[in-house]
Amino acid sequence: MRTLRSLVFALFVLALVGFRSADASSPSTRTEQVANMRVATGSYVGNGIDNRAISAIGFQPDVVLVKGTNNEQAVIHTATMPDDLSKEIESGSNQTGAIKTLDADGFTLGTNVRVNKATPPNTYYWIAFQAAPGQMALGT
């Protein structure tokens, strides 16, 4: 678990460094392809509105992680998990209303404070992966 936390922390640092936009109220996105695996990162400001779509990332993700600037834990949702179920990275506890679905060109959020709290203004950073044989696999 410590290795996973270190990896997640490193990925979020990369997202923070590479994607701080001058206008944090407008979502920003960047997509890269490493061999056959695709990775996109971005940020948005929470608005507390249910079923918020984060779209135009360039692919259907298999894994999405979100971490806000608030004191809440980061959450993860994978393609092998039921819709509307996410897990906290550190505690492993299940969360509903966080990352709800993985969509054809992004993902959909609920109103869980870990991903979409409106007040005070919270900026959230996300990273999405599309699996590729030999580079990233889902499941056990």
- Write out pLDDT tens, residues 41-57: 999 999 999 999 999 99
CA 7, CA 77: separation in Å to the nearest integer?
A: 16
Provide the domain limits for residue 116.
Answer: 2-130
* Domain assignment present for 140: no
Nearest Cα to Cα of residue 18 among 2, 41, 45, 46: 41
- pTM value is 0.79
Does a structural domain hold residue 138?
Answer: no
Query: From the CA atom positions of the chain, what is the Rg in Å?
Result: 14
Helix (H) or strand (E) holding 131: none
7 pLDDT higher than 80? no
135 part of a folded domain: no
Question: Nearest-CA neighbor of 98 among 79, 120, 83?
Answer: 83
The answer to the question of residue 109 being in a domain is yes
Indicate whether 136 belongs to any domain. no
Within a domain: 139? no
- Residue 82 contacts residue 96 (beta carbons within 8 Å): no
What's the pLDDT tens digit per position in 51-91? 999 999 999 999 999 999 999 999 999 999 999 999 999 99
pLDDT surpasses 70 at 20:
no
Burial of 119 (0-12, 13-18, 19+ CB in 10 A): exposed
Please tell me the total count of domains within the chain.
1
Residue 35 maps to a domain: yes
